[in-house]
Amino acid sequence: MIANKLKTLFRRSHKNTGQTAPDPRTRIHFLHIGKCAGNQVGHVAEFINSVSTDRKIIKHGHDVFLRNLPEEEPYFFSIRSPISRFYSGFYSRKRMGMPLIHSKWTACEKFAFDHFPEANDLAEALFSDGDLGYEAVGAMNSIRHTSQNQIGWFYCAGAFLVTRPPIYILRQENFEADLNKFPILANLQTSASQVPISTDKVTAHANDYSKTPPLSQKAKDNLKRWYVQDLAFYDMCSAWLDACEAPPRTSGL
């Protein structure tokens, strides 16, 4: 009887103050690196949060880095091949994020797209002599998604896979297969088959690039030089995943 009265008073106090009871579920943070299947992860998080009674995924914006997350709470993130990410990021900002969102160009982004209307134009101009090369450097560092390295979300924490490892890493190129393993690693009370993956191109922020110029070999070679840190970062994360999934060694002759 006393316990019931206390519960009633607690509910009334929160109702009167406009406050809600704190969420008791364990928080799992999604560190959102731009153009790495973040919208798909967001849909997955919404579903998991609607059915899970003991876990809640917190999806952060692009300006939240590892150092901003509570050290005692688990996290995960997704990665993407740097060249593919450049191509997607260039055209995402050229469209101003549409049709999913509408984010106008900055003055520097306008400069970039005025000088380099296609991704291949920009990539081929990198490392050129004279003004063209300088303009390419300026453009690369003006467009939101091309200017940020994936490893930048872990600045001043380069050894994070050792000192503060995530619960998992999703790869955009291997998204469905990686996602199948995620519920078990996150101790979620749901199976992978229950987790929906959006096939709608708008909500998934996926786009058709069949009518855009492909990257030439020169462009790809230049991008490999430009994103050398991210290529190493991607390989490092992939090696970590392989080590996590490898069967334990057995002793003996």
pLDDT at 28 over 70: yes
Q: Which of 82 and 192 is assigned the larger pLDDT?
A: 82
Residue 222 has pLDDT above 50, yes or no: yes
87 neighbors 222 (Cβ within 8 angstroms): no
Structure tokens at 104: 């106008």
CATH topology of domain 25-243: Rossmann fold (3.40.50)
Q: In which order are the strands placed within the sheet that holds 168-171?
A: 55-59, 26-31, 75-79, 168-171
Task: Say how far apart CA 219 and CA 109 lie, in whole Å.
Answer: 20
At 190 the pLDDT is 67
State the pTM of this model: 0.83
Tell me, what's the pLDDT at 21?
73
Whether residue 9 is predicted with pLDDT greater than 60 in this model: the reply is: no
Classify the phi-psi angles of 75: left when phi > 0, otherwise alpha if psi is within -120 to 50, otherwise beta. beta
Q: What is the pLDDT of residue 198?
A: 62
Looking at residues 135-149, what average pLDDT do you find?
97
Structure tokens of 114? 């005025």
Query: Is it the case that residue 249 has pLDDT exceeding 80?
Result: no
| Alpha-carbon distances, residue 97 vs 34, 91, 102, 139, 184 (angstroms) | 12, 8, 5, 18, 33
Q: Is the pLDDT of residue 86 over 60?
A: yes
Average pLDDT over residues 37-41: 92
Lowest-confidence segment of 170-174, 188-192, 245-249 by average pLDDT: 245-249
DSSP tag of 193: G
pLDDT at 13 over 50: no
Can you give the pLDDT at residue 241?
A: 93
C-alpha to C-alpha distance for 50 and 188, rounded to whole angstroms: 12
Task: Calculate the CA dihedral of residues 218, 221, 227, 229 and round it to 10 degrees.
Answer: -170
Asked if the model's pLDDT at residue 181 lies above 90, the reply is no
pLDDT mean across residues, the chain: 86
Instruction: Output the pLDDT for position 7.
Output: 46
In the chain, what are the domain boundaries? Answer: 25-243
Distances from the Cα of 238 to the Cα of 80, 157, 198, 235, angstroms: 11, 18, 25, 5
Residue closest to 94 by CA, chosen among 51, 142, 128, 138: 142
